[in-house]
Amino acid sequence: MSTPARRRLMRDFKRLQEDPPTGVSGAPTDNNIMIWNAVIFGPHDTPFEDGTFKLTIEFTEEYPNKPPTVRFVSHMFHPNVYADGGICLDILQNRWSPTYDVSAILTSIQSLLSDPNPNSPANSMAAQLYKENRREYEKRVKACVEQSFID
């Protein structure tokens, strides 16, 4: 069955393959275009560098009028990532626009890794360390990067 949401996701996939943004990749799961697996590589010159962080993206039939649910599968230590992997990012909630696609979502999450927003914390420990003890923050993130190779 081909619905507008599924057709849009096919276009997203095509665009992601034809014009892949650096440091992110994603593809629909084998039997369901509404569920995608993605990988974000930790951006250079950040403590996340070299990490390979896996995510799942779940779309509804209301896409692109409603944002998908994006979740880190890899364990993350980041001020805006909840313990269950959920992401606190304005464009995935109240600032969503139907002009975003998978490519835009993944690059936004990638830039969130470089620029956390400690003022709206999803992980208060990470936010506090980010603000007050950057060295410890980086140590915890590095542990996450190591973990991401095994996950």
Partner 1 sequence: MADENENEKMDNENQKPEKMFTLKKWNAVAMWSWDVECDTCAICRVQVMDACLRCQAESKKDSYGKQDCVVVWGECNHSFHYCCMSLWVKQNNRCPLCQQEWSIQRMGK
The catalytic site residues sit at 88
**60: CB partners within 8 A, 6+ apart:** 5, 34, 66, 68
Closest distance to partner 1 from the beta carbon of 5 (Å): 9
**Which CB sits closer to partner 1, 4 or 44?**
4
SS3 state of residue 52: strand
**Which CB sits closer to partner 1, 49 or 101?**
101
**79: CB partners within 8 A, 6+ apart:** 116, 117, 118, 121, 122, 123, 126, 127, 130
Note whether 31 binds partner 1 by CB under 8 A: no
Q: What are phi and psi of 46, to 5 degrees?
A: -130, 160
Note whether 20 binds partner 1 by CB under 8 A: no
Number of residues that bind partner 1 (CB under 8 A): 15
Residue list 57-96, contact with partner 1 (CB under 8 A): 64-66
User: Which residues lie near partner 1 (CB under 8 A)?
Assistant: 2-4, 7-8, 11-12, 15, 64-66, 97-99, 101
